[in-house]
Amino acid sequence: MHRNNEITPWDSIKVKQHLSILNNSNNLHRINGNHTLKHLEASTIGLEDKKYTKKENIDKNTSIILNNDNLLIRQHHNHQSAIKGAYLHPQNPMAIHTNEPGKAEWCISADNEDGKEHFNNYSNHGNVPIYTIHNKHTKRTFAYVPNPDNTEIRDEKDAIIHPAHILLQHTDIINTPIGEHILKHNPLLHKFIQKYPHNLSSDDIHKILNTSNTQDDSILMHHNNFDKTHVDKIFEKGNIDSIDNLIGYNNINVSNEHLHKAIDNPYTNKYNIISHVNADSSILHKAMDDEDEYLRGSAIRHPKADEYLINKGLDDSDINVQIEAAKHKNATEHNLNKAINSENHLVRAAAYTNPGFTKNNLLHALSKSDREHWSDLADHPLIDKDVITKVLQFEDDGHGYVNDVKSALIRHPLFDKEHIKYLPSYHQSFANKILHEKGKI
């Protein structure tokens, strides 16, 4: 490769690294036909350097970019490093709010093949760096991908973070390559930083809000000293773009009271409002009264949905909202019984597969004439001897449904001779035959 001018002297570290991986994993034969660095890199895809333990490989593929009293910035060179980088400090206030408590929700850090594919796509197979930025004071951690044409910054919940949040709350970054990249692609932010000092006081912010334009407001709201009184001021000014920006970027100073004011305004972005970290069930209930069925669907999927809201969703005019309500992890036994009573078989099916589905729900479902799903119910994982005993005592419905269910349960692996006494005489001979075939009598 060197003789053909395919590599340059500064590529030697990469070449040595990839040759080491091939050697330590007994795959030197893959070198044949490798005429460029890209070919050599491709030959090590899927291989780990067996000379090192998994932890050593992760540490080897994690670089420290900045480490001072305020910040720790790491660069993650492979997927395993990105997985480890997603684990949050125990005192991170967002740690209990992520889908997997204690781990950020970044797609690049999912510990599976999809996560690996996302990492390769975002990093362009190693050509675009991926960073995590950890604030040692707040314990917050952000992921940052400096794409050539823009910047992408995500918080622990994978919500998009405005670049101003990073620079104004982490001023150490401004003079690093990361800060230079952010400013290059955000000229308004660059202009703002040149215009105002980073150590603005609360009073300074109030003075600027009294005179500033919408563009300045949209950056100022990410300042360290921006507080609830400044949120009040922006709401008082009444600019919808500024209010939407405040809420859309999850400004922690926006209270539930502010969210109520915003959701009552016909021009605000309701989707941002129900997604805000301070939105509670009262906000979701207001969203459920909206004419937009997609907004109602988003509200019913919210992790803070309560029993009353889920009941409201089950009564919704839109079938998709009903299905989402029946699927919700917070659905109670009462909610699921209500879903089981639905005339729509898709709503009932969503209830049957809900993780919170109980034995009482199962008995209620088996007592209904659910022609579409009775055979699945008769084979449900919650079926036990007690359920079989109770169902066998159901009275005949006159339409054959109960008989069909009983016939299915006779074939169930847990059906035993003790159950025969609960069967009508015309079923007992059939049951004896099945048990005899199974060697149970």
Nearest Cα neighbor of 237 from 249, 225, 246 is 246
H-helix segments, 26-110? 37-43, 54-60, 79-85
Residue pair 366/378 in contact (Cβ under 8 Å)? The answer is: yes
Domain count, the chain: 4
- pLDDT of res. 61: 84
214-228, 300-314, 345-359, 392-406: least confident range: 392-406
Q: Is residue 279 part of a domain?
A: no
Q: Is residue 216 part of a domain?
A: no
Ramachandran area for residue 321 (φ above 0: left; ψ -120 to 50: alpha; else beta): alpha
Query: Going by DSSP bridges, is the β-strand pair 152-154/131-135 parallel, antiparallel, or unpaired?
Result: unpaired
Q: Is the pLDDT of residue 27 over 80?
A: no
Q: How would you class 336 by CB atoms within 10 Å of its CB: exposed for 0-12, middle for 13-18, buried for 19 or more?
A: buried
- pLDDT of res. 176: 83
- Coil, helix or strand for 323? helix
Ramachandran area for residue 279 (φ above 0: left; ψ -120 to 50: alpha; else beta): beta
Per residue in 262-296, pLDDT (tens digit) is: 999 999 999 999 999 899 999 999 999 999 999 99
Q: Is the pLDDT of residue 54 over 70?
A: no
- DSSP string spanning 121-133? HHTTTTTS--EEE
The last residue of one of the domains, among 329, 357, 385, is 357
* Residue where the block lists tokens 């066998």: 392
Q: Is residue 13 part of a domain?
A: yes
Gyration radius from the chain CA atoms = 30
Nearest Cα neighbor of 56 from 91, 20, 12, 90 is 20
Does residue 59 sit in the same domain as residue 46?
no
The last residue of one of the domains, among 140, 161, 182, is 161
Whole-number average pLDDT of the chain: 87
H-helix segments, 1-36? 12-24
pLDDT band at 332 (very low <50, low <70, confident <90, very high): very high
Does residue 306 sit in the same domain as residue 351?
yes
Return the amino acid letter for 341: N
- pLDDT of res. 25: 64
Q: What is the mean pLDDT of residues 87-95?
A: 93
Per-residue CA distances from 196 to 163, 192, 212, 354 (Å): 16, 6, 12, 53
pLDDT band at 9 (very low <50, low <70, confident <90, very high): very low
pLDDT band at 234 (very low <50, low <70, confident <90, very high): very high
Q: Is residue 167 part of a domain?
A: no
- Coil, helix or strand for 144? strand
Nearest Cα neighbor of 130 from 102, 154, 165, 114 is 154
Percent of the chain with pLDDT over 90: 54
Q: Is residue 89 part of a domain?
A: yes
189-198, 199-208, 407-416: least confident range: 189-198
Residue pair 239/216 in contact (Cβ under 8 Å)? The answer is: no
Phi, psi of 304 (to 5 degrees): -95, 5
Return the amino acid letter for 94: M
- pLDDT of res. 10: 41
- How far apart CA 125 and CA 120 sit, in angstroms, is 5
Does residue 382 sit in the same domain as residue 413?
yes
The counts of H helices and E strands in the chain are 25, 5
- pLDDT of res. 23: 67
Full residue range of the structural domain in which residue 326 is found = 292-357
Q: Is residue 386 part of a domain?
A: yes
- Coil, helix or strand for 75? strand
Residue pair 302/274 in contact (Cβ under 8 Å)? The answer is: yes
Does residue 135 sit in the same domain as residue 72?
yes
Does residue 90 sit in the same domain as residue 27?
no
Q: Is residue 336 part of a domain?
A: yes
The last residue of one of the domains, among 129, 161, 193, is 161
* Residue where the block lists tokens 């709350």: 169
Does residue 395 sit in the same domain as residue 424?
yes
Does residue 96 sit in the same domain as residue 71?
yes
- Coil, helix or strand for 103? strand
Q: Is the pLDDT of residue 7 over 60?
A: no
Q: Is the pLDDT of residue 2 over 50?
A: no
12-26, 65-79, 384-398, 401-415: least confident range: 12-26
Percent of the chain with pLDDT over 70: 88
Phi, psi of 395 (to 5 degrees): -75, 150
Does residue 14 sit in the same domain as residue 96?
no
- How far apart CA 241 and CA 277 sit, in angstroms, is 19
Does residue 91 sit in the same domain as residue 126?
yes
Does residue 140 sit in the same domain as residue 79?
yes
Per residue in 345-381, pLDDT (tens digit) is: 999 999 999 999 999 999 999 988 888 888 888 889 9
Q: What is the mean pLDDT of residues 407-436?
A: 88
Residue pair 282/265 in contact (Cβ under 8 Å)? The answer is: no
- pLDDT of res. 111: 93
Does residue 144 sit in the same domain as residue 116?
yes
Residue pair 358/382 in contact (Cβ under 8 Å)? The answer is: yes
Does residue 344 sit in the same domain as residue 384?
no
Q: Is residue 120 part of a domain?
A: yes
